[in-house]
C-alpha cells in the first residue's frame, strides 16, 4: 500500500520541517523526489539524506513567487505525477501590525507561489492523463487565530484555490486536496520562540504545546503520513477536500 514507485514528485520547501519529512517519506515509498527550495543548502541536505537511503532526489534553487523561474524548472523536470505545495512563510500580527510590505510578501509566497506551481503543471498533467496536487493550508483558514491576520488571509486563499482546481479538473483525472495542520514542532517554531520569548523558551514551548487539546504539537512525520495517503492510489476517490491535522484544535477547543 501507498506505493509511489517511479512517481515523479515535486515538493516545494522540502529543505526543512514538514516539507523535509514529506520528501524523505515519499522517497522511501519509491518516488523520485524533486525539491524546490529557496534555501539551496537545506535542500541539498535533504537530498543527501534521501540518496543515502538509496532513494532518488534532486534539488532546484527557486523562488516560488517568480513564475518564470518556476516554469523553467518544471519544464526541465518533465512529466510530473505529484505536486506538493508546501513552501510558505508566516507573520505575527493583527491588521494594525501588518504593513503593506508584510501583506504583499505573504501573498507573493503563500498564495502566488502555489498558483505559480499549479499553473506551471496543470497542462502537463492534463496531457499525461492526470496527477495529484496537494496544498499545505492551515487551521488558520478554518478558525480565528489571534495575531495571524496576513497569514490567515493567505491560507484561506490556499483552501479556496484547492477547491477550485479540484472542481475544474475533476474530469481530467487530476485530484487536488489540502492539509490544514495546527502547530507542528519544526525549526520555525523553535526560532519563533527563541526570537520572541528570550529567557522564557521552555515556558512558551509548553504553553504552545498545550494549545492543542491533545496536549502536544504535531510532528512533521505525522503530517507526512497524511500527505502520503492523499497522494497515493489508496486515496483515488478523494478530491476537493481539506484535512485538518490538529490534535483536536478545530473541534475540541476546551
Nearest C-alpha neighbor of 238 from the set 135, 166, 152: 166
For residue 168, what are the contacts with CB-CB under 8 A and spacing of at least 6?
Answer: none
Cell numbers 502537463: residue: 124
Active site (annotated) includes residue 151: yes
Considering 115, 119, 151, 197, which one is annotated as catalytic?
151
Closest-CA residue to 66 (of 22, 112, 121): 112
Residue 193 · residue 206 · CB < 8 Å: no
Longest dimension (CA), the chain: 56
Rounded to an integer, what distance in angstroms lies between the CA atom of residue 34 and that of residue 80? 10
Q: Where are the alpha helices (DSSP H) in 98-219?
A: 100-106, 113-127, 149-168, 187-196, 201-210
CA distance 229 to 234: 7
Q: Using CA atoms, how far apart are residues 196 and 199, in angstroms rounded to an integer?
A: 10
Cell numbers 505545495: residue:
85
Q: List the catalytic residues.
A: 151
Amino acid at each position: 500500500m501507498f506505493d509511489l514507485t517511479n512517481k515523479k514528485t515535486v515538493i516545494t520547501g522540502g529543505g526543512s520541517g514538514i516539507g523535509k519529512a514529506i520528501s524523505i517519506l515519499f522517497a522511501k515509498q519509491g518516488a523520485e523526489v524533486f525539491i524546490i527550495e529557496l534555501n539551496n543548502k537545506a535542500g541539498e541536505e535533504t537530498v543527501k539524506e534521501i540518496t543515502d537511503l538509496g532513494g532518488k532526489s534532486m534539488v532546484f534553487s527557486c523562488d516560488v513567487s517568480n513564475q518564470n523561474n518556476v516554469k523553467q524548472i518544471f519544464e526541465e523536470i518533465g512529466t510530473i505525477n505529484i505536486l506538493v505545495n508546501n513552501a510558505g512563510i508566516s507573520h505575527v500580527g493583527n491588521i494594525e501590525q501588518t504593513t503593506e510590505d508584510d501583506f504583499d510578501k505573504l501573498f507573493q509566497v503563500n498564495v502566488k507561489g502555489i498558483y505559480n506551481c499549479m499553473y506551471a503543471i496543470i497542462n502537463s498533467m492534463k496531457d499525461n492523463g492526470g496527477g495529484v496536487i496537494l496544498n499545505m493550508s492551515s487551521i488558520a483558514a478554518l478558525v480565528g487565530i489571534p495575531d495571524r491576520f496576513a497569514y490567515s488571509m493567505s491560507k484561506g486563499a490556499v483552501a479556496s484555490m484547492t477547491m477550485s482546481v479540484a472542481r475544474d479538473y475533476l474530469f481530467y483525472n487530476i485530484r487536488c486536496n489540502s492539509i490544514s495542520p495546527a502547530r507542528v514542532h519544526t525549526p520555525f517554531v523553535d526560532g519563533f520562540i527563541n526570537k520572541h520569548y528570550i529567557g522564557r523558551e521552555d515556558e512558551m514551548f509548553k504553553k504552545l504545546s498545550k494549545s492543542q487539546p491533545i496536549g502536544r504539537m504535531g510532528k512533521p512525520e505525522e503530517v507526512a503520513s497524511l500527505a502520503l495517503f492523499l497522494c497515493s492510489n489508496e486515496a483515488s476517490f478523494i478530491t476537493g477536500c481539506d484535512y485538518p491535522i490538529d490534535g483536536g484544535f478545530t473541534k475540541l477547543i476546551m
